[in-house]
Amino acid sequence: MSLEDRQSCIEMVEQAKASGARRQASCAVLEVSVRTLERWEKAPEKGDQRRGPVTGCAHALSAQEKQAIVKVSSSPEYRDLSPWQMVARLADTGRYLGSESSFYRVLKQNDLLSHRHNSKPRVHCRPKDLAARSPNQVWSWDITYLNSPIRGAYYYLYLVEDIFSPMIVGWTIEEVESADHAGQLIDRICHGQAIAKGQLTLHSDNGGPMTGATMVATLERLGVIPSLSRPAVSDDNPYSESLFKTLKYRPSYPDSAFSSIDEARAWVNHFVLWYNTEHLHSAIRFVTPSSRHLGKDPAILAKRSVVYEKAKGLNPHRWSGKTRNWTPITEVLLNPKKHKTEIQTEFTIDTTTPIPRPKVSAMSEAVEQISDISERRSKNGLHSCPITNASDSGEGLPWAETPLSDDLLRSSHRCSKLRPKFNSDYLASDNLP
């Protein structure tokens, strides 16, 4: 970075600080660390002091050796080979011009490092990103195994899910995995949901039943647009994979195999009924999939919002900001493209007199950082799991009698400089080492 750019960064940070912004946030916008900015401020008139190596590498390739590598790599005999192939073939002829890394480095310096085979270069094609803004726009389906009494033989569960709801719109269990059963299932569901031609996009992976001739012909006849994942990429069909995990991690899911296909069908039928009508789905503001599929979720969420606003009115000091967000989700995306966020490098200068920040202690700063970390974790989807065994966890017992109290007291004793000290009489009663 030039000296003028450094001066400009220092001035912008000072202007932002005068307007009430923090140095750390300003440096994050400029993509410069606070430590680097402090070093620039100590010597604002000095530019980049790095001068590079004083002497050259003693064993570096000479200009003639580099030219020989370029000449050999561009010859008709070697121009379609990779450096690994060229080095091995040159060794067979008794020649050594350099290592594979030297070949790569020289070719890159001469802008010759590109696809060198006669075949077409590899093309990275992501599946088309899909957006569902109402039911019956995008469906996701897949097939999973269910254990049967015979080792090596399985029952095959075909499951179709609407990603907007996300309600299970159809399923079947068969003893074989085939495109015929898949086509019959999709045909039955489309007629049951009154799907018009061109209305629905059906997403699946690249398995045989998904790409079979019967399935393709059925989709073409129904006017359903197919969408396929990339081969050997499991996270291109995340909704079906997540649904299968919910199914197989249910407490009632049998530990052993199903005794018959009728038993498997009865269990899945009970699961689908629970999932669609009783399960409060976390991705749709904790309403049931059937309620969202039928358009009842806005009324349910509006009622919840009224309850929260009433509770806030009774005890406003318990809320530091807005109440919980109960607005309906209007769009669900499948395989969205990742867009890089554009960083705004210009500051808006506020001419009003900034309000001085109150001085806080180091302990409160640490608590603020911990709360920031917890907020970031919750936004990333991490959450605490419910306690399944209250007796082992010590739930309901006094703090000092829980199974983890000794470890926590030892940790607090070792880190006494980082957290408040407990009452000395209380610690003395707990035989610390």
Domain boundary residue, one of 284, 313, 341: 284
Residues 265, 142, single domain; the answer is yes
Specify the pLDDT at position 117. 60
The string of DSSP codes covering 232-286 is T-GGGSHHHHHHHHHHHTSTTS-SS--SSHHHHHHHHHHHHHHHHHT--BGGGTS
Specify the pLDDT at position 48. 78
Domain boundary residue, one of 258, 284, 310: 284
Burial 299-334 (b: 16+ CB within 10 A, else e): ebbeebeeeeeeeeeeeeeeeeeeeeebeeeeebeb
For residue 123, being part of any structural domain is answered with no
Identify any residues that bridge with 161 across adjacent strands, giving them in sequence order: 140, 168
Residues 143, 268, single domain; the answer is yes
For residue 185, being part of any structural domain is answered with yes
Residues 178, 141, single domain; the answer is yes
For residue 160, being part of any structural domain is answered with yes
| pTM for the model | 0.57
Residue type, position 401, single letter: E
Neighbours of 16 (CB within 10 A): 21
Specify the pLDDT at position 166. 95
How many structural domains is the chain composed of? 4
For residue 290, being part of any structural domain is answered with no
For residue 18, what are the domain limits? 3-42
Q: Is the distance from CB of 189 to CB of 161 less than 8 angstroms?
A: no
Reduced to 3 states (helix: H, G, I; strand: E, B; else coil), residue 142 is strand
Reduced to 3 states (helix: H, G, I; strand: E, B; else coil), residue 139 is strand
Q: Given the DSSP bridges, would you call strands 138-147 and 201-204 parallel, antiparallel or unpaired?
A: parallel
Specify the pLDDT at position 409. 43
Q: Give the DSSP letter of residue 138.
A: E
Specify the pLDDT at position 118. 64
Q: Is the distance from CB of 148 to CB of 156 less than 8 angstroms?
A: no
Specify the pLDDT at position 55. 84
For residue 313, being part of any structural domain is answered with no
For residue 366, being part of any structural domain is answered with no
Distance CA 136, CA 284 (A): 16
User: Could you report the average pLDDT of every consecutive run of 10 residues in the chain (433 residues)?
Assistant: 86 90 90 90 82 84 94 90 92 94 94 72 77 96 95 95 96 95 96 95 93 93 93 86 96 94 97 96 95 96 95 92 93 80 44 48 43 41 40 44 45 44 45 45
The string of DSSP codes covering 328-391 is PP--EEES---PPPPPP--PPPP-SPPPPPPP--HHHHHHHHHHHHHHHHHHTT--PPPPS-HH
The alpha-helical segments, DSSP class H, found in 1-156 are: 3-18, 23-30, 34-42, 63-73, 83-92, 100-109
The CATH number for 221's domain is 3.30.420.10
Specify the pLDDT at position 135. 96
Locate 185 and state its tokens. 């299932």
Residues 98, 228, single domain; the answer is no
Give the residue among 404, 410, 415 at the shortest CA–CA distance from 433.
Answer: 410
Torsion of CA 179, 180, 182, 183, to 10 degrees: 110
For residue 337, being part of any structural domain is answered with no
Who's near 234: CB < 8 A, 6+ residues apart? Answer: 205, 241
- Omega cis (within 30) before 166: yes
Per residue in 101-158, pLDDT (tens digit) is 999 999 999 988 876 566 676 776 777 889 999 999 999 999 999 999 999 999 999 9
For residue 26, being part of any structural domain is answered with yes
* Whole-number Cα distances in Å, 407 to 12, 414, 421: 48, 11, 15
Identify any residues that bridge with 220 across adjacent strands, giving them in sequence order: none
Per residue in 244-298, pLDDT (tens digit) is 999 999 999 999 999 999 999 999 999 999 999 999 999 999 999 999 999 999 9
Specify the pLDDT at position 123. 72
